[in-house]
Amino acid sequence: MIFNEDTRVKIPTILHLVRLGYEYISLKDNEWDSETNIFKSIFDESISRINPEIEQRDVNRLFEEISLDLENEDLGRAFYHELINRNSPRLIDFEDFNNNSFHVVTELPYEKDDDNFRPDIILLINGMPLVFIEVKKPNNKDGIQAEHKRIDRRFRNKKFRKFVNLTQLMVFSNNMEYDDDELEPIQGAFYSTTSYGKPAFNYFREDQVSDLNVNLSVLDPNVEDFVLKDTNYVGIKGTQEYQVNKHPDRPTNRICTSLFQKDRLAFLLQYAIAYVEGERGVLEKHVMRYPQIFATKAIERELEEGVKKGIIWHTQGSGKTALSYYNVRYLTDYFQQKQVIPKFYFIVDRIDLADQASKEFRHRGLIVHTINSRDQFAQDIKSTTVLHNASGKPEITVVNIQKFKDDRDVVRNSDYNLNIQRVYFMDEVHRSYNPKGSFLANLNESDQNAIKIGLTGTPLIGDNLKSTALFGGYIHKYYYNASIADGYTLRLIREEIETNYKLALEKTLEEIELLKGDSDRKQVYAHHKFVEPMLEYILKDFEKARITHDDPSIGGMVICDSADQAKMMHKIFEDKYTQSELPIAAEPEPSYGDKRSASYKPKTAALILHDIGTKSDREKWVKEFKAGNIDFIFVFNMLLTGFDAKRLKKLYLGRVIKAHNLLQALTRVNRTYKNYRYGYVVDFADIKKEFDKTNQQYWNELQTELGDEMDSYSNLFKTQEEIELEIQEVKEVLFHFDTNNAENFSKQINEISDRGKMLEITRALNNAKSLYNLIRLSGNYELLEQLDFQKLTILSREANNRLAKINLKESMEEGLESTSLLNVALEDVLFSFTKVREEEMLLADEYKEILRKTREGLAGNFDQGDPEFISLKEELERLFKKKKLNEITKEQMEENIKALEKIYAAAKELERKNQLLKAKYANDAKYARLHKRLSEKDPLTDSETKLFEALQSLKEKADQQVLSNSNMLENESFVEKMMMRLVIQELKNKHQLNLNLEKSRQINSLLVKEYLDEYHGRAA
């Protein structure tokens, strides 16, 4: 049997692409232009078809122009603009995408002089090779990194410029599932676009997995035979391995479905590719990350449903500004198809963020118009002009709301043009958008038809002002755990600092005669006798970090207790450490050989405060830090949000920061850089309590993704009596409402304005949804008849919408303000600092994810009578009963995560073994369960093979009896007699198992129940 890369991955993937609508063609029967690899005859026919008015000489001229464009050193930018051009002549028909030609070929040679390579699979659109796929067999040497290195080498070769410029998308796969614990991706299926060096590999995870295979056609046997003959692999057709690898859920097939379904491919080619001018003028080509793709589609769904506002909750580092750019392109076409002209705004709350956003948009090719005053804003709102540039290029207007803080005049515009749709992307909607202030009122009054899309990585979720109350529900979410798994951000390590000899503090306080209040406390911590030893510890620690990682390129940031402390720290650094060596460490240093050179010592630092230097000075210092020319930056409030520097890997936290601002600050060090697995937070301020509190708030907010999921977890294990009692409670709460008619119910609850009453109703309905799943899990199916659970699910949506409306109304009326940040005394920080331990900072969504996986891992088990399953279920129940999940500390969270991971691993392994056994019985779960029961106690035989052969024989006979007389399952007595006869005949007489009368009755009882349950739809 041939068992290699081709038979295991390439051939099955080609056939899967055929099922997606690509025609396989043989290189033996076709010709192509060797300079471009464009199949000229297909190109000519396709271009003539989608441009009926064009003549052949114009087609030839178009081909020559393309060939010239592909010579450019522009990463194919000129060609790409021609590719997505919708004016005649068109290279692709995007209005009717099925009007194009779609082909798949294998091993097409990419050749120039003596250099060549042959991608495994190439997709042709109208004869143009726009996509290629490189595959490896599972567990290949060096994993997917082998392809990473190889494509890097090829793309640097200028002989392949035309091919690089022509290619739009690439997939690299070794047909394995992702390993989210890998530092570098070694296994899995990844996608990217081209570069003149090493491309960035992106994970792809579907949002709606159930929709994946809706467009798969049936594979034509003649086409399958043709592919196997053409590739000389006819011998594999009958093998089981080949059949397995053709399955749509294999990793390579799955990513091909995700990317190359025709609707998805049309979207990717038009909207998911961007050319970006890098920091040093280097042109880069980017492709949308999958959360950006699904967020864009989610925005479209909301708009189709008439929703005008909502929030994109994507973790820091996930590219929210880039998402706005992509949506300018996508929504422009979306609205133009509705004969509406969109006008886009990007709203920020700081000057530096306005500058940063403007720069990012310009680097992506957008024209940027800026607004810096109320008068400008009023004039712009009332204007019917959409673009401020004469070129007609896409444009976005960047607005800095700081210019509106003291403005009490409302910008009213009741006469706006109905053909203009204003779209506001509101950055960082976790701060500054005060409902009592003027800007939100101005924005709302200016155009009540405007679309408002909030962007945040840390929404306000406290008891006071909530982001969702002001900006609507969550349109799309992408959390830290997914971002870490996808390699976009790093985990965080907190280094705890212990302080010594408190008497020294008391002595110093006497010396400087302070400590009379909070303001005096700040002076204490800004005093040179305090700052100097703190800075000494920081510099020694930072040097050690550079030595440990053998990397002098990393940078550090110190978040100071006050602006005065930051100034003192910078002064001491300048006076003491730029002119002399660092202090000798008190503890013995490890031996690093010649690595302990001057290059590891921090030599330069910058002070970033609003009153230090000019705006251009601060911009210069920040740019120098990002470039690696400054080792340290000392800050107080600046750069804690919206500041991205990949080399920043050590954050020294000198004060407690509250709520969402804490996560914003911590994630300054979580950007990916080289091979770093972690970003490091050195904690002088003992933020542990505040981090736990903030993390808990986000944990609670995460529950809204699946409704009241906390109750689902807490009530996972209920007795039948408890379930019946809760069903009765649901009935009591809903007694006065018409639950048979959703429209009447909606009218009835719309008359309720009391939040407490509405909350009672929604809790009852949400609990009904949970009870439905609990009843199915428990097997007490008769309880399903006590309530119309499907109808209650519909009513639940209505009730939740009504509650959200009441919440929004109350929030808007009360105009709650965000609580101000408190300066917490750093009483434990003294003059000598020692690192006592390191711990990973576990974020709430990681806990939620392991909870979800553990619950689903158990709930999905088809054999819940298995003693091992029961043991795991009881272990999980004991864990839940220890303490309410929404009241746990960070230590308990860490402990629970470890316990849950252990249970999840065991459940996953049990499920793996179950599925293997189930597959032996042609996926018949009832016989797999019977097999296990007969193997557990007093087994009929010591040979599992013998037991399988006997049960398989019994299954064939029993199934045949049922198939020949489908009505027999209505007569339980008849089934019992028939099954008993077969059990004795097949197990005892034919296969001679150790079967007595009691065992026969047991087996018969189990089998009869299984068949009847299956017949009546009650199977576990």
Backbone angles phi, psi at 481, to 5 degrees: -60, -40
Residue 778 is predicted with a pLDDT of: 52
Q: For 924-943, how does the pLDDT look when each residue is reduced to its tens digit (9 = 90+)? A: 888 888 888 888 877 888 77
CA–CA distance, 927 with 931 (Å, rounded to integer) = 6
Sequence-distant (≥ 6) Cβ neighbours of residue 380 within 8 angstroms: 371, 397
Residue the block writes with tokens 């003294």: 830
pLDDT of 901 higher than 90: no
Q: For 108-156, how does the pLDDT look when each residue is reduced to its tens digit (9 = 90+)? A: 999 888 788 899 999 999 999 999 999 998 878 778 888 888 888 888 8
DSSP string, 172-197: EE-S----TT-SS--SSEEEE---SS
Residue 701 is predicted with a pLDDT of: 67
In 3D, which of 962, 966, 990 has the Cα closest to residue 978?
962
Residue 1017 is predicted with a pLDDT of: 55
Angle, alpha carbons 441-444-446 (nearest 5°):
105
Q: Are 864 and 1020 in contact (CB under 8 A)?
A: yes
Q: Which DSSP helix (H) or strand (E) runs through 933?
A: helix 925-936
Least-confidence region, from 538-547, 573-582, 644-653:
573-582
DSSP bridge partners of 286 = 274
Residue 606 is predicted with a pLDDT of: 95
Q: Residue 830 — very low, low, confident or very high, per pLDDT cuts 50/70/90?
A: very low
Do strands 491-500 and 128-135 pair parallel, antiparallel, or not at all (unpaired)? Answer: unpaired
Residue the block writes with tokens 């049309």: 266
Residue 987 carries which DSSP code? I
**Average pLDDT value for the chain:** 80
Q: In angstroms, what is the C-alpha Rg of the chain? A: 33
User: Of 803-812, 851-860, 868-877, where does the model show the most confidence?
Assistant: 868-877
Q: Looking at residues 520-531, what average pLDDT do you find?
A: 75
Q: Residue 895 — very low, low, confident or very high, per pLDDT cuts 50/70/90?
A: confident
pLDDT of 317 higher than 90: no
Residue 60 is predicted with a pLDDT of: 95
User: Of 444-453, 769-778, 819-828, where does the model show the most confidence?
Assistant: 444-453
Q: Which DSSP helix (H) or strand (E) runs through 839?
A: strand 832-840
Could you write out the three-class secondary structure of 128-163? EEEEEEEECCCCCCCCCHHHHHHHHHHHHCHHHHHH
Residue 250 is predicted with a pLDDT of: 92
pLDDT of 614 higher than 60: yes
CA–CA distance, 939 with 929 (Å, rounded to integer) = 14
- List, in sequence order, the alpha helices (H) in 513-585: 518-526, 528-548, 563-572
Q: For the chain, give the percent of residues with pLDDT over 70.
A: 80
Sequence-distant (≥ 6) Cβ neighbours of residue 551 within 8 angstroms: 674
**What single-letter amino acid sits at 887?**
E
Could you write out the three-class secondary structure of 84-133? CCCCCCCCCCCCCHHHCCEEEEECCCEEECCEEECCCEEEEECCEEEEEE
SS3 content of the chain, % helix, strand, coil (to 5): 50, 15, 35
Least-confidence region, from 565-574, 681-690, 790-799, 831-840:
831-840
pLDDT of 165 higher than 60: yes
Q: Residue 38 — very low, low, confident or very high, per pLDDT cuts 50/70/90?
A: very high
Q: Are 457 and 667 in contact (CB under 8 A)?
A: yes
CA–CA distance, 1012 with 971 (Å, rounded to integer) = 10
In 3D, which of 943, 925, 914, 930 has the Cα closest to residue 1002?
930
Least-confidence region, from 28-32, 416-420, 476-480, 635-639:
416-420
Q: How many CB atoms lie within 10 A of CB 589?
A: 12
CA–CA distance, 330 with 239 (Å, rounded to integer) = 45
Across the beta sheet with 102-106, the strand order is 23-24, 102-106, 121-125, 128-135, 169-173, 189-192
Q: Looking at residues 650-660, what average pLDDT do you find?
A: 83
Residue 992 is predicted with a pLDDT of: 83
Q: For 766-788, how does the pLDDT look when each residue is reduced to its tens digit (9 = 90+)? A: 778 767 755 654 556 678 788 88
pLDDT of 228 higher than 90: yes
Structure tokens at 62: 């178009």
Structure tokens at 471: 């900006």
Q: Sign (positive/negative) of CA torsion 733, 735, 740, 744? A: negative
Residue 709 is predicted with a pLDDT of: 35
Least-confidence region, from 566-575, 759-768, 911-920:
911-920
Q: Looking at residues 278-295, what average pLDDT do you find?
A: 90
Residue 497 is predicted with a pLDDT of: 73
User: Of 553-557, 820-824, 918-922, where does the model show the most confidence?
Assistant: 553-557
Q: Which DSSP helix (H) or strand (E) runs through 360?
A: helix 351-363
Q: Residue 714 — very low, low, confident or very high, per pLDDT cuts 50/70/90?
A: very low
b/e per residue, 937-957, with b = 16+ CB within 10 A?
eeebbeeeeebbebbbbbbeb
b/e per residue, 675-712, with b = 16+ CB within 10 A?
ebeebbbbbbbbbbebbbbbbbbbbebbbeeebbbbbb
Q: Who has greater pLDDT, 793 or 890?
A: 793
Q: Looking at residues 624-629, what average pLDDT do you find?
A: 92
Across the beta sheet with 451-456, the strand order is 367-371, 395-400, 341-348, 420-426, 451-456, 309-314, 474-478
CA–CA distance, 240 with 592 (Å, rounded to integer) = 55
CA–CA distance, 468 with 807 (Å, rounded to integer) = 10
CA–CA distance, 429 with 452 (Å, rounded to integer) = 11
User: Of 448-457, 833-842, 913-922, 1001-1010, where does the model show the most confidence?
Assistant: 448-457
CA–CA distance, 839 with 841 (Å, rounded to integer) = 6
Q: Which DSSP helix (H) or strand (E) runs through 61?
A: helix 56-69
- Measuring CA to CA, how many Å separate 367 from each of 175, 288, 359, 619? 42, 20, 10, 22
In 3D, which of 230, 187, 205 has the Cα closest to residue 18?
230
User: Is omega for the bond preceding 89 within 30 degrees of 0, making it cis?
Assistant: yes
Q: Looking at residues 752-768, what average pLDDT do you find?
A: 83
Q: Looking at residues 213-230, what average pLDDT do you find?
A: 88
Least-confidence region, from 256-265, 338-347, 851-860:
851-860
Backbone angles phi, psi at 134, to 5 degrees: -110, 130
b/e per residue, 96-106, with b = 16+ CB within 10 A?
ebeebbbbbbb
Q: Who has greater pLDDT, 732 or 165?
A: 165
Could you write out the three-class secondary structure of 377-443? HHHHHHCCCCCCCCCCCCEEEEEEHHHHCCCCCCCCCCCCCCCEEEEEEECCCCCCCCCCCHHHHHH
Q: In 931-1012, which ranges are E strands? A: none
